[in-house]
Amino acid sequence: MPKGINLASKMEKQLPAELVNFMWIAGEIARTRGQSLYLVGGVVRDLLLGQANFDLDLVVEGDAIELAKELKRLNQGKITTYPRFNSAKLRWDKWSVDLATARSETYEKPGALPSVKPSLIDNDLSRRDFTINTMAIRLNPGYYGKLIDLYGGRNDLKHKLIRVLHEKSFTDDATRIWRGLRYEQRLDFHLERNTLKLLKRDIPMLDTTSGDRIRYEIECILQEKYPEKVFRRAEELGVLPKLHPALKGNGWLAEKFEQARQLSSPEPPEVGLYLALLAYPLINEETERLISHLRLPKSSAQTLRDSISLKSKLRLLATPGLSPSGIYRLLDAYSPPALMANSLATESPAASQNIHLFLNRLKYIEISLTGEDLMRLGVVPGPHIRELLELLHEARLDGKITTKQDEEEVVKGWLATKQG
């Protein structure tokens, strides 16, 4: 076995046996094909940190798609190929493994996507964002478990530092600014001194990056355990205003995000709920600017629009003595994340209570009779059917009637007044 640090026993201990076996066999198959195969990126970082991460990223010096096709036969899994990137995803049982062809990247202009060509592992590692993400573990027999650490990633892990690989890193790709803050806050690390300086210098480069790429990074942040930490830090460093100048990463946001987690527990909050809370301080035009800057998909955009429209109705919603049907009428059109965001963000306890009443009870109240039942009872087809169904629903919401028989009585009464 060659000298250097070997992580085979760590892999054995920390990763599920099925994945360890898979990597072992994959290394053998790659060797028979004359290729070198490596485990790379976040999983290596987390292995060294002793943190659970089973998202295997493999890089091969050679054709990843061909290798993936051969590996697929081992476990009868599913393969998805991405010929444009010369990469593939294998899935079987509960596992999924990404396989990529080692590549080098060159950035022709800041913010643009790089031009890419197949290459060796060293080049593949040199295009990565931070030293802690540049480590690889070789998987070929004879080298299995050998750590490749070209940029001092292990040392930076030890000292809890986020460090870029070169001075132009954030200029090449400003999404790394958000990535850096995300890793720093997730791992409880610090941006290394020069990296911090470069990051601050390159904040204006965020303007060169497409909204789609920034949105992806924001979505990743919202999937962190404590996204508010990243936004607090982003505000402190002057990164948050690049998303929108009126956004806040303050104590209010932290409190609301925590409440959102409690409200959604045991699931983590939907991204839409977090987004609506983040965007809560914005007024209409500002929200529209954020939506178009991030090119938010329809559903998230709708959540933000719902949230702001609902905000303008909170005063009405807090009217003393408002009936359940009145609450229903005010809230029925809004999406659940917008409702939840307003229930958490409003300063009116009455409005908040009414939203909870709607979400937990009113929204599930239904009537028993259908339009056909009404016709059977003698109502003439036409607009009256709809009116009557609404009348019945209102009476149910307000607790004036509770059974199917009650509903039939209401209909009969209505028919009597009409006919009488």
Task: State the maximum Cα–Cα separation within the chain, in Å, rounded to a whole number.
Answer: 100
- Min separation Cβ 114 and ligand ATP, Å: 9
Between 186 and 248, name the residue whose CB sits nearer to ligand ATP.
Answer: 186
- Judged by CB under 6 A, does residue 173 bind ligand ATP? yes
Dihedral (CA of 283, 286, 288, 293) sign: negative
Binding positions for ligand ATP, 48-67, rule CB under 6 A: 57
Between 114 and 336, name the residue whose CB sits nearer to ligand ATP.
Answer: 114
Nearest Cα neighbor of 277 from 292, 297, 255, 302 is 255
Q: Which stretch binds ligand ATP (CB under 6 A): 126-134, 268-276, 314-322, 389-397?
A: 126-134
Q: How far is CA 405 from the centre of its chain?
A: 48
Q: Three-state SS for 251? A: helix
Between 92 and 107, name the residue whose CB sits nearer to ligand ATP.
Answer: 107
- Min separation Cβ 227 and ligand ATP, Å: 13
Binding positions for ligand ATP, 16-45, rule CB under 6 A: 41-42
The residue from 35, 175, 209, 303 that contacts ligand ATP (CB under 6 A) is 175
Nearest position to ligand ATP, beta carbon:
42
CB distance 388 to 413 below 8 Å: no
Between 57 and 270, name the residue whose CB sits nearer to ligand ATP.
Answer: 57
- d(CA 233, CA 197) in angstroms, rounded, equals 15
Between 133 and 303, name the residue whose CB sits nearer to ligand ATP.
Answer: 133
The residue from 133, 171, 303, 307 that contacts ligand ATP (CB under 6 A) is 133
Q: Which stretch binds ligand ATP (CB under 6 A): 17-25, 173-181, 330-338, 399-407?
A: 173-181
Report residue 175 as tokens.
Answer: 């999404």
- Min separation Cβ 62 and ligand ATP, Å: 19
CB distance 362 to 327 below 8 Å: yes
- d(CA 53, CA 222) in angstroms, rounded, equals 18
The reply to whether omega before 266 is within 30° of 0 (cis) is yes
Q: Three-state SS for 287? A: helix
Between 295 and 418, name the residue whose CB sits nearer to ligand ATP.
Answer: 295
**How big is the chain by its Cα radius of gyration, in Å?**
28
- Judged by CB under 6 A, does residue 128 bind ligand ATP? yes
Q: Assign residue 76 a region: left if phi > 0, alpha if psi is -120 to 50, beta otherwise?
A: left
- Judged by CB under 6 A, does residue 176 bind ligand ATP? yes
Tell me which residues touch ligand ATP (CB under 6 A).
41-42, 57, 128-129, 133, 173, 175-176, 179
